[in-house]
Structure 1
């Protein structure tokens, strides 16, 4: 039988393994259980009644968390001329065109979000095999292919989160740090849940939200009662 550390035993105290908690209580418990020596991320995971292999059942989008994520987001922008200057002024970390393409092709991708103006997509398209698997390919539906470079950079820096259903129909995201106030974590959790519910695809039949869990980076998953999500 695997050995359980003292820290994990302490985290698990008071938790009922099979109990599904209200969202607010689960968030509070996850925050309380984040006792590692670093500022853990509080995460939410939702198992949806979809099959992402079918186009009419894919769940994908972005949501702005009202209190940010607590994470420093590095943003790269493919743009030229005035739009490149707009990106720099908005706080983009990396801005370029052919030079940035060569950097990415060389294997250097020191950024978390990639934005491009529409006229740059012919260039960016060549990087699909590199950016795509990492979830970094700019996409008009996600607001990352846009002429509003300033707005896109600002949103990314402010705590906008991208989500995409994985093969098993699971979507997840970090909703803040354990150092956040409990109320702010709950606001972020609700914003994420609301975005997932609004993104329900036309092909989803039956129960849409099947399972939900909240956890900290090093903590146990805490089950959430889906019926409490709208409370």
Structure 2
């Protein structure tokens, strides 16, 4: 019990206590020692050595009452004025932090701090310099442009074409198919009525008489074994043509360069009409140079194709788009529900080579298709 009183005394007085405690059985007739007080400006140190004599033990008071009385005697010097203890008055004053104005705050606590944007960009902008960071600013999302008619879209694309070269007019059509399924792949080719406006370099893999017919029809590159060996040695650097045709007798030899031609879309394919008989090689070359366009849906079920140049008349671009739409509908997979464009073509956008996309309405695309059918 005495130990608890001493600890309580040390907590209240702020003094460093060094009590000397001994068991009650070892207490003799020694006089109760007075506490020795060592005053200093910073720390009040007190040492205690308590002993209870026989006279006090015979008193009616208990040992706890005696301890409380001695604690009051030790606490009395602490209540003396600071001047009597020899401690400077300013040491005992409570610390007051220096006053600061709002202009003295660092930048990270004021509105000078950079605005922190987070996703999603929602919240309030804190203009009060006393408010801490982070600060958020709301943003207004740009609404997507509304689809317009095909004729208006073509005129808008021509007006916004500002590049220094003659840009191409391209269309991107969203299809409601799953390209991962083999029965829903969309692929084909079409000859545009007014061409693409691009000079196509055509290569023909043929021999003997078919090679001569290809040269007379205007093919830029004609060869057989020599052309295959040149592509094998030079790789992509030896490819100096845009389209490729081949006779059926050359397909077994083209297997050696399939890894070079295939990734670039140049490998002849019977579905695209690029594998022809020797008798029809001349007509195939003329068709390829006239404006034959190949299309294929990518992994995202989006079909991209170029339908002309921005300097084409609007009517010519309109007819080219109608012919392309008719070829895409002809390649519609059988597993798609609905008829015509329903459930198959879900959206379309026009753009130039360096311009932004302009969405067009599907009914106007259907009108272009009907105009081609009536011709």
TM-score normalized with structure 1 length: 0.90
Give per-residue Cα distances to partners, 1:1-36, cap 9 Å, x unaligned. 9xxxxxxxxxxxxxx942101122211211121122
Give per-residue Cα distances to partners, 1:111-166, cap 9 Å, x unaligned. 11110000000011222211111111101121100011111111110000011111
Aligned mates of 2:336, 2:256 — CA distance in 1? 33
The equivalent residue for 2:264 is: 134
The equivalent residue for 1:44 is: 171
The equivalent residue for 2:313 is: 181
Larger relative contact order (Cα-Cα within 8 Å, sequence gap ≥ 6) = 1
Q: 2:200 matched to 1:73?
A: yes
**Runs of 4+ in structure 1 displaced over 3 angstroms?**
none
The equivalent residue for 2:231 is: 104
Q: 2:334 matched to 1:199?
A: no
Q: 2:276 matched to 1:146?
A: yes
Q: 2:180 aligns with which of 50, 53, 70?
A: 53
Unaligned runs of 5+ in 2: 1-116, 118-142, 368-375
The equivalent residue for 2:363 is: 227
Q: 2:231 matched to 1:95?
A: no
Unaligned runs of 5+ in 1: 2-15
Aligned mates of 2:335, 2:265 — CA distance in 1? 23
Aligned mates of 2:221, 2:307 — CA distance in 1? 25
TM-score normalized with structure 2 length: 0.56
The equivalent residue for 2:246 is: 116
The equivalent residue for 1:31 is: 158
Aligned mates of 1:145, 1:21 — CA distance in 2? 40
Higher CA-based Rg: 2
The SS at the match of 1:66 is coil
CA contact (8 A) 1:49 1:205 kept: no
1:22/1:142 CA distance change after superposition, 3 Å: same
The equivalent residue for 1:209 is: 345
Q: CA RMSD in A?
A: 1.5
Q: 1:125 aligns with which of 244, 255, 268?
A: 255
